[in-house]
Structure 1
Amino acid sequence: MIPIDLQILKYIFMEKPIYYFKMKPYFQTSEYHDLCMYITNRSDTQNSDRLDKRDYTVFDLETTGFLPEIGHEILSIGAVRMNGNSEKLDEMHQLIKPIRPVPNHILSLTNLSRDALNQAPSFLEGFQRFLTFSENSTLVAHPAHFDVRFLRAMVKRWKLPEYSPPCIDSQQMAKYALPDVSHRLDPLLHYFNIHSLERHHALNDANMTADLFSELLLIMKKEHNITTYSVLQQLLNRQKS
């Protein structure tokens, strides 16, 4: 694997201009300008601070790497819409066409094919679908500091308006609620006896994370008397700091 400092130099001097050249035609389209307006005017406010009265979009990304800041891209988004009573309301799975070629080991890990990815819509179209799906909900990811950060970095790369959705990090919740259990997804699924689906498939991982999130919400309510989003966020922010 190329050392990270060389990856950064390669991105700055070789790949970043290629990204911009290939994205530039999209910036002139009406779809791009409509998406900019949608993000600017979009509201993620909810009617209640109570955790059991909110809607959630539990999501997962499959990507070409861990560092969007040096050109790694999103290949697929899986998302599950659920309410505060742990009822799953809807789900979506969206492939996204990457700008740059996908490494073979990533295709093998995600079980995605080049043909399917080449026929998929652009990030702009895929992100628009995700925004519509998740509107007026709180995002949940495991860990959110990866998935939400990745989305925001992609938004910045595509020169879209700033995207700062309300979100909950289920990994941080697990660290607080179950300090003696590994906070990685697989051990937590085993701990709660959650049915395991094929991993590294965005929708499968989102469904399993949704089941895990439901269990963590119950622990927060019954064992720690945490029933509001604002209190939960204060607790998780203190834990991170």
Structure 2
Amino acid sequence: MLPVDLQILKYIFIEKPIYYFKMKPYFETEEYNNLCTYMENRGESNSSDFLKEREYTVFDLETTGFLPEIGHEVLSIGAVRIDGEGQKSGEMHQLIRPIRPVPNHILSLTNLSREDLEGAESFITGFQKFLSFSENSTLVAHPAHFDVRFLRAMVKRWKLPEYSPACIDSQMMAKYTLPGVSHRLDPLLNHFNIHNLERHHALNDATMTARLFTELLRIAEKDYFITSYSVLQQKINEQ
């Protein structure tokens, strides 16, 4: 694998023009225009500030790398919809067809085949499904600073309207509520005896994170100050 600085140069001078050339036909489709309109008219989610009264979409991404700014892409989105008590009301798992070829080690890690991805939906279609599924909810990811940042970078690359969803970083929440426990996902799952599903599958990881988030929410709410979204975010930001 090339050093990051060479990856950046390769993306700017070689891959970015290729991306644009392959993405350009999508910009002229009705589906793309509909998505832009939907995002522009999408209202604020979760008018209530109380954690128990909110709906949550706990999600996870599988990607071709860690740096969307240099062309890494989303391969799949897994999401679970829960309420403030942790009751599940739905789930989704969507494969995304990438623009550029996927490295073999990523296919091996995610247990996806090139055939799986060739038959998958475009990012435009997959992201529309995710937006519809997560409408009027607060996003939760572990860690959110990766998954939400990745989606925002993809949105920018596809020249879509700005995407700034309400979200909770369950990794930082664990750091606040369980200071003596590693805030990585696997140790937290073991701490709460949450059944470990096959990793690096977006829906599996989202399912486990949803169970973890429910446990963290219960711990946070034992502190009578932590009953609102705004206060929880303040505490998380202090970490």
**TM (normalized to structure 1)?**
0.98
Deviations 1:111-136 (A, max 9, x none): 00100100101000000000000000
**Aligned residue pair count:** 239
The match for 1:109 is 109
User: For the residues of structure 1 that align with 2:132 and 2:173, how far apart are their CA atoms?
Assistant: 26
The match for 2:130 is 130
User: For the residues of structure 1 that align with 2:138 and 2:17, how far apart are their CA atoms?
Assistant: 35
Q: 3-state DSSP class of the match of 2:81?
A: strand
Q: 3-state DSSP class of the match of 1:204?
A: helix
Q: Is the 8 A contact 1:68 1:154 kept in 2?
A: yes
Equivalent runs, 1:1-241 vs 2, <5 Å? 1-223=1-223, 225-239=225-239
Would the alpha carbon gap of residues 220 and 15 (structure 1) be closer, same or farther in structure 2, given more than 3 Å must change? Answer: same
* Deviation >3 Å, runs of 4+: none
Q: 3-state DSSP class of the match of 1:60?
A: strand
Would the alpha carbon gap of residues 24 and 150 (structure 1) be closer, same or farther in structure 2, given more than 3 Å must change? Answer: same
Identity of aligned residues (%): 76
Unaligned 5+ segments in structure 2 are none
Q: CA deviation at 1:46?
A: 1.5
User: For the residues of structure 2 that align with 1:98 and 1:157, how far apart are their CA atoms?
Assistant: 13
Q: CA deviation at 1:43?
A: 1.5
Unaligned 5+ segments in structure 1 are none
Q: Is the 8 A contact 1:76 1:94 kept in 2?
A: yes
Q: 3-state DSSP class of the match of 2:79?
A: strand
Q: Is the 8 A contact 1:59 1:206 kept in 2?
A: yes
User: For the residues of structure 1 that align with 2:23 and 2:148, how far apart are their CA atoms?
Assistant: 22
Q: CA deviation at 1:191?
A: 0.3
User: For the residues of structure 1 that align with 2:41 and 2:125, how far apart are their CA atoms?
Assistant: 18
User: For the residues of structure 2 that align with 1:44 and 1:83, how far apart are their CA atoms?
Assistant: 17
The code of the aligned residue for 1:106 comes to I
Query: In angstroms, what is the RMSD of aligned CA positions?
Result: 0.8
Q: CA deviation at 1:224?
A: 5.7
Q: Is the 8 A contact 2:45 2:135 kept in 1?
A: no
User: For the residues of structure 1 that align with 2:54 and 2:108, how far apart are their CA atoms?
Assistant: 37
